[in-house]
Structure formats: structure tokens, C-alpha cells
A and B are shown apart, each in its own frame.
Chain A
Amino acid sequence: MYCFGTVDHGANGVSREFPGTEASVSEALADLRHLLIERGYCEEVCANALIVLGEVLNNIVEHALPEIPDAVISLNVMEAGRRLMLETCDSGRPLPPNLMQAPNQPVISDRIDDMAEGGFGWFIIHSLVEDMVYEREDGQNRLSFSVMSDATV
């Protein structure tokens, strides 16, 4: 059952808590998308934030929270100039350390049968985020990072 926390941190912040399941992550992201659009964020920053969050949250569900039925993920989104600062927190198992390393581009082959069907997630994250920080403290995982528009102007 999906429940939606609604603790707001300041006028521009968004704070949410939701169960650590794929279905709840999906709903939370759909909700966040509408909220960011409603608040008038630039389409590109929204897209980048949602793409990265999708990968980060699904990795948390897959690696930190399997077989933890009541697991909750908390998410904070804060505005800082042209950036969106994002932070996730969960009380699951430590994330595998190799997740933080920039991975190789998954195999793109001329032979369709040789093409990779996985391994895209952290490649996508590292393509869009340069400042990912992972902290493990008091039995909690905390990931913080920011996204901005692709334009360098």
C-alpha cells in the first residue's frame, strides 16, 4: 500500500517518504514529475532529475531493501539557483561500493542478439551527475547529488 508523506521544507523544497518498492517508486516519481512541472521548473532540469532519481531509487530498492518489507525511502528535493539538489535516505543494507564507480558504456552491437539489456542504470546516472556522494552512517544510506540544465550558458 502506497502512502505519501507530505513534510515540506521551505517554500521551494519537496520532501517525501514512500515504501521501498518498485511500484511505490514509480508512483512517487510520477507525482514528483507533476509537482515539478506545476512549479514551473525548466523541462530539461526536470527531465534530468527524474531520470537520475529513477535509476537511484530503483538501485536502492534492488540492492539495499530486498526482503525488508516495511522499508521506507525518504527523498528531499531542494532548489539552489539553477540546480536541483537531491537527497535520498534509507535504512537498508549498505550499497555495493562498485556502484559509485563510473561504469562502461553497455554493449551496442551490430548483432542484435549481442546487445546488452542491462547495465544502463549507473551509466545514465554518471552521464548526468558529477557530484554524487554516498554516506553510510547509523545504519542508513544517504545519497546526495545535483542536476542542472545541459546548457552551460
Chain B
Amino acid sequence: MNIQSNAQGNILVLTINEPRIDAAGAVAFKDRIRSLVQDFDGRVVLDMDRVEFLDSSGLGALVAVMKLLGGGRRLELANCGTIVRKVLALTRMDSVFVLHESLQDAA
């Protein structure tokens, strides 16, 4: 699971270098992010630019990641593509995560 981590002050940007967050990779995704966000207490923004596909298992992994952030922190998503935005909208999860058009918008 290729996820790049880049702390910019109070914001941790995690670049998801994978085309899919789906049932086949949801557990690896969750485990990798858990190790990356450990000991970070600022905002966490996922750069979703390369993610072409998200299914319900991937969505469940995003919810799980938000839970492990703790402290009432919302998970933030930037650069979501067509399918990702659609899955978030259908499940109303676009009102739960904080969505940004771009990383600049997230800054």
C-alpha cells in the first residue's frame, strides 16, 4: 500500500498512491494509515488525486481511520474524483468528512 506522508506544520498530508481503495485493499489501507498518523495530533488530509475507485469496504476503512484519529477530529479529503465523490454523496458521508477541491484549499 503506497501512501506518502508529508507533515506541513499542523497538517499531515497523506498522498494515496493507489488507484483503488476497495475490499481487496481496505485492511492494508487502514493499517498503513494507522502507522502514519500515530503520535500526530493535528489535521490529517488525504490527497485522493490518484484514487479512481472507492467501494463500501474502502468507505468503511475511511470511517475507521477517522475514528482512530480521536479527539473529535474529522478526516479531510482533497482532490476526490468522480467515483469517490459519488460514493460519498450517495451515503451522505460527504457531510461527515471534510472535503477540499484541492490541497491548496485544504491549507
Binding site for B on A (CB under 8 A): 22-23, 25-26, 29-30, 33, 43-44, 47-48, 50-51, 54-55, 58, 61, 105-106, 108, 112-113, 115-118, 120-121, 123-124, 127-128
A58 & B53 in contact (Cβ 8 Å cutoff)? no
B107 CB within 8 Å of chain A = no
* Complex interface: chain A residues within 8 A of B67 (CB): 112-113, 115, 117
Write the chain A residue with the least CB distance to B93.
Answer: A108
- Tell me the chain B residues, 48-107 only, with Cβ under 8 Å from chain A: 52-53, 55-57, 59-61, 63-64, 66-67, 72, 74, 82-83, 86-87, 90-93, 95-96
Interface residue from A29, A48, A112 paired with B66 (Cβ < 8 Å): A112
Secondary structure dominating the interface of A: helix
* Complex interface: chain B residues within 8 A of A25 (CB): 23-24
* Complex interface: chain A residues within 8 A of B22 (CB): 22, 26, 29, 54, 58
Q: Would you give 26 A-B contacts (Cβ < 8 Å), ordered by A?
A: A22-B22, A22-B24, A25-B24, A29-B20, A30-B20, A30-B53, A33-B52, A51-B55, A51-B86, A54-B22, A58-B22, A58-B23, A61-B23, A105-B91, A112-B66, A112-B67, A113-B67, A115-B63, A115-B67, A117-B60, A120-B59, A120-B60, A123-B90, A124-B90, A124-B91, A128-B90
List the 6 closest A-B pairs by CB distance, nearest first: A120-B56, A26-B24, A121-B56, A54-B55, A22-B24, A117-B60
* Complex interface: chain B residues within 8 A of A33 (CB): 52-53
Provide the bound-state CA to CA distance between A115 and B91, in Å: 12
B25 CB within 8 Å of chain A = yes
Known interface pairs A29-B53, A124-B56; 14 further A-B residue pairs with C-beta atoms within 8 A, sorted by A's residue number: A25-B23, A25-B24, A26-B22, A26-B24, A30-B20, A51-B55, A54-B23, A54-B53, A54-B55, A61-B23, A108-B95, A117-B61, A120-B59, A121-B55
Q: How far apart are A47's CB and chain B's nearest CB, in angstroms?
A: 5
Interface residue from B57, B59, B66 paired with A58 (Cβ < 8 Å): B57
Write the chain A residue with the least CB distance to B75.
Answer: A112
Q: How far apart are B58's CB and chain A's nearest CB, in angstroms?
A: 9
B42 CB within 8 Å of chain A = no
Provide the bound-state CA to CA distance between A71 and B86, in Å: 31
Write the chain B residue with the least CB distance to A23.
Answer: B24
B91 & A123 in contact (Cβ 8 Å cutoff)? yes
